[in-house]
Amino acid sequence: MRSRTLTLTAAAGAALLATATLTSNASGTPRPASTREGTVSAADLLAKVTSCNQISNGKYRTDEETSATVSVCGKNGAVFWKADMDIDCDGQRTSKCNEDTDPWYQDDTAFHQSDGKPLRADSLPYVVVPSSSSIWNYSNAGIKGGGVVAVIYNNKVQYAVVGDTGPNKIIGEASYATAKALGINPDPENGGTDSGVTYILFKNSQVSPIENHSAAVSLGDQLAKKFLQDN
């Protein structure tokens, strides 16, 4: 769980009324993420989020030193925001994510695997949501740990889960694996991208077990199709 007060600026330039849950009996071992997932195109999703019905009580900064410019927007069955991507390498300690590779490394995530262990940032695509505050409370909006997210960048769609929480005034962060799959430099210290990332979070969705990425892709594709129909 992020508690750092400084998020590194990047150096590199549907809806279901009831909870939608997809359960898998697979081992849950994270699979490497591909650069293209599902059947819904980035262009079709982006066409539905060209305007913002702001549901947050204020705006977020993308980094500690920037001004607050990012709103959380509401759509039928989803919320979304457009921001940067900082790299979250928290969770299980690996060769790519540890105290040596990430100056802000923490050995835990807000949400855990089915075996109780923290998530593994270098192999599981997940997104960080701002901790609840007077600006916005993600749980009140139907967003929960394991919820499905369509992350869009450079005409690519990557499905991820809500896996961690971050500072309550900063937005725009995802795991090492999410960045790598989208062609973004995943280095937690000097990677990420300054802009151009769209995050669409599907309300009342949940993947179980949270670490099963193939389940996230399957459910995400279903929810993305419904999102297009309902908006």
One-letter amino acid for residue 53 of the chain:
N
Q: How is the chain split among helix, strand and coil, in percent rounded to 5?
A: 15, 30, 60
Position 12 scores a pLDDT of 36
140 phi and psi angles, rounded to 5 deg: -70, -20
One-letter amino acid for residue 60 of the chain:
Y
Measure the CA–CA gap between 216 and 129, rounded to whole angstroms. 17
184 phi and psi angles, rounded to 5 deg: -95, 140
Position 23 scores a pLDDT of 40
Residue with tokens 């962060």: 173
Q: Are 211 and 113 in contact (CB under 8 A)?
A: yes
Position 31 scores a pLDDT of 43
Position 59 scores a pLDDT of 98
Q: Are 197 and 84 in contact (CB under 8 A)?
A: yes
| Alpha-helical regions (H) of the chain | 42-46, 176-181, 213-230
What is residue 184's three-state secondary structure? coil
The stretches in the chain having pLDDT less than 70 are: 1-36
| pLDDT tens digits for range 100-120 | 999 999 999 999 999 999 999
Position 17 scores a pLDDT of 34
